Structure 1
Amino acid sequence: MPNNDTPLHRRFLGDELDVEYRARPGLFVKWKEWNASISTRFYAVLKLVKILSSMWLSSGLEVYRDIPSLNQLVSRWCPTTHTFLTNWGEFSITLEDVYTLLFLPICGTASIIAPLSDEEKSLMSSLKAFVESLKKNKKQFDLPDWIRHFHKEDGRDLVELATSIALWLSTYVFHPKNPRTVQSDVFPLACKPACGQQIPLGALYLGTLYHNLDSLVLEVNSKGTNMTSTVDACFLQMFIWERFTKLSPPRKCLNSDNPRPWSWARSRPKKSVKLCDIIDNVSEFTFRPYLTNTYIYFTLDLYPGGVASLTEDVCLSLDISPGGIGFWFAICLPRHILYFLDNAKSASWSFTVYRPGHVARQFGFDQHVPHH
């Protein structure tokens, strides 16, 4: 593989990496109150497009970041395969992880790259007009300005809904390089759910996370280890705790209506175990952490009754009706996924490779060959 694609653990020990991982953005002025108001007044449409729970989750999720573990995990990332490489094989972040831990929908009723409908174009024009009136002579504007405006005006229309979705996408989903500004490129994306169209935000989030991990590895290999990353470190921390239970703190007991990620909120990691000590031991990795748990928001039943080899015959025989194992596996098995490219001058969309076939055992397929 190219030198810049070399996983970092081939060149650096985890303790030698010096990467600054940003925390999830804090609660901006009036954001929690505004988010609660939006969720109440636009409950039906947010539930229809499957982002109600995810927006609600953004109001209070605070996850402690264990920097040594994050460095050890990131050091195993391979941009060529989009998997973490270990002595026993590969594992990766999949759409299942995104769906379960962030509640972002992984399928949709509309394409994000399709032209806007007349209703969406009208909403887009109104949203741009609002932004221009707010910016006035400023080159940029802070997120609290958005919230203060509607808190004062109390606008009860689709412009307010689209504005709140655009703010949420920019701040909590795509993690821009400047965390206190809103990318205008997400406006078309915000208008679709505001008009009742469900879009596959989970795939967009995962593609962007892949891209950010790729960029981190490439930059460290070419420039050195002292850098700041836009990788969603809090999500990666939850991923580590779900997959490596020996590292995870005691899971908080939640009520049945609480989301699964809150079981990790404000938890401190165990100091007696390091990820580098267990990551190469296959028995320490939990392939299917979401099968059963007493305290979870919902049950994610993605798996067949037993382990099967992922042959062509098996793929053809899977039940692809909604809710069937074939349906979920097909949803989780696209060849490419879009990602949000946050450039210095503008943002754009591009495609990156998604290879869940490399980690089929995480979906309940391909039994591991035991060591002798």
Structure 2
Amino acid sequence: MVFPIGDHKLTLRPAHFLNPSVTFTDEPIFELPSLFSSSLPPTFEPSKWPLKLTFNSWPWKPPRNWKTWVDSLRPKFQSLWKKAGIFEAIMNSTYVIRKSNDLVIGIAERWCSKTRTFIFPWAEATLTLEDTMVLGGFSVLGHSVYISIESQELKEIEDKLIQARVETGRSKARKASPSEWLKLFINSGSEIEHEAFLVMWLSVDLCLLKRTIVDLNKFDSDENENSLLEVIIRSPFQLVQLWVWERFQALQPKPKLVICGEPAFARWHRVKSVNVENVRVALLSAGDTFLWCPYALYRYKSDFPRFYREKERWVPVDPNLDEEIEAFARCMRVSQLVGLGCIEEYFPHRVAMQFGMDQDLPGCVTQCKKTPEIAWNNYSKPISDVKLYVPSRLSEIGVTSHYLK
């Protein structure tokens, strides 16, 4: 094994890889596509490019009483939100993340749609289900977004919500605006106030389940010299920026001190980006300072996840498996993610070091096109009759010598 930082000193020790790994499979090695520098503008000056980015969901500026609504419902529904795995995600919606266009464009340049990762000269990295869970505050367990409403009670609630949408759509704008929706339900005492609250919150955050990364590396500067490329991003892309801030120390502003138990977004509430002369260069040269497991260092959280522990361990997987450990296992398993109108490949074995594991050359994954139902059944398939390795949060990760080459 080779330590990926510094002088790459060789060491002989037991290693822990994520499957499929070329060491333990006959699958061929996936050849990385050639880096796309030839198709990128020679200098990193996004403000001068014929490119217009519009982030419809960032910053999300809810009506000024949104936080008031959250705070008013929290005492009654906090335990329910936590049980459903959405408490931190709801609280995250009350924070403001200041956008850095250069940072977002810089990281999007490194995106590879074939591997579903950002490719750098020093390694691959990407947003994983762990980021969605720990940073975004969402659950990776539960039901598919396509689950049908079956009970009569839920159907009646749905009918009432649809009727409310029709009523708010009678405004001058002739559509159901968030402000009109909030005005209709906040502190109204309506029997469906909580459901209306969740509808408003989900109308933004469920966009996370749509395609979110733009292949800016396909942007041909010569071909588009005289035409404006307009890109509208409807997902809450602030999660991508926070992913960069959490891991790239050269691009990381000073986070705020937060109260014990606050979600990860609180660290970055209204924080200003650092001035970086060239984001592209900073990303390409970040190998020695990249934080592979930043969340394992979070000491302010009172509910520190059980998969971040001081000592490594082997956990038997059975029907009584702890939900946090089950979630961690989901994060590390190759699968297809079912979203709204899309099914996305998920290749965590390509970024094993983000889970405290060692990195071998990743094997190929042959996935045929599936229906949302089949993809979801495979994703939610129980893990059984195995032992799960949970690394120490302070583990020293390494790569195989042939990966380094």
In the superposition, the TM-score normalised over structure 1's length comes to 0.74
Give me the whole-angstrom Cα distance separating, in 1, the residues matched to 2:106 and 2:198: 34
8 Å contact kept, 2:89–2:136: yes
In the superposition, the TM-score normalised over structure 2's length comes to 0.68
Q: Deviations over 1:271-320 (max 9, x none)?
A: 25643223234212111111123334642343587899xxxxx9xx8646
Structure 1 gap ranges (5+): 176-204, 309-313, 341-348
Cα distance, 1:162 vs structure 2: 1.6
Q: Does 1:73 align with 2:107?
A: yes
Match of 2:229 among 226, 229, 241: 226
Alignment of 1:20-35 (within 5 A): 20-22=53-55, 23-35=58-70
Cα distance, 1:215 vs structure 2: 6.5
Cα distance, 1:212 vs structure 2: 2.4
User: CA distance change for structure 1 residues 323 and 339 in 2, over 3 Å: closer, same or farther?
Assistant: closer
Amino acid corresponding to residue 352 of structure 1 in structure 2 = E
The percent of aligned pairs where both chains have the same amino acid is 19
SS at match of 1:20: strand
SS at match of 2:288: helix
Amino acid corresponding to residue 39 of structure 1 in structure 2 = R
Which residue of the partner structure matches residue 249 of structure 1?
253
SS at match of 2:344: strand
Which residue of the partner structure matches residue 167 of structure 1?
200
SS at match of 1:232: coil
SS at match of 2:295: coil
Match of 1:54 among 86, 89, 94: 89
8 Å contact kept, 2:109–2:215: no
Cα distance, 1:350 vs structure 2: 2.6
Moved more, 289-298 or 85-94: 289-298
User: CA distance change for structure 1 residues 305 and 32 in 2, over 3 Å: closer, same or farther?
Assistant: closer
User: CA distance change for structure 1 residues 228 and 44 in 2, over 3 Å: closer, same or farther?
Assistant: same
User: CA distance change for structure 1 residues 19 and 301 in 2, over 3 Å: closer, same or farther?
Assistant: farther
SS at match of 2:249: coil
Alignment of 1:99-178 (within 5 A): 99-108=133-142, 110-118=143-151, 119-136=153-170, 139-151=174-186, 154-157=188-191, 159-171=192-204, 173-175=205-207
Which residue of the partner structure matches residue 213 of structure 2?
213
Q: Does 1:43 align with 2:47?
A: no
8 Å contact kept, 2:111–2:215: no
Which residue of the partner structure matches residue 384 of structure 2?
none
Which residue of the partner structure matches residue 335 of structure 2?
335
Structure 2 gap ranges (5+): 1-32, 359-397
Which residue of the partner structure matches residue 289 of structure 1?
294
SS at match of 1:291: helix
Which residue of the partner structure matches residue 3 of structure 2?
none
User: CA distance change for structure 1 residues 229 and 273 in 2, over 3 Å: closer, same or farther?
Assistant: same
Match of 1:98 among 132, 142, 161: 132
Which residue of the partner structure matches residue 45 of structure 2?
15
Higher RCO (Cα < 8 Å, 6 or more apart): 2
Cα distance, 1:30 vs structure 2: 2.2
Give me the whole-angstrom Cα distance separating, in 2, the residues matched to 1:254 and 1:168: 24
Q: Does 1:359 align with 2:351?
A: yes
User: CA distance change for structure 1 residues 220 and 267 in 2, over 3 Å: closer, same or farther?
Assistant: farther
State which structure, 1 or 2, has the greater radius of gyration over its C-alpha atoms. 2
Cα distance, 1:147 vs structure 2: 0.8
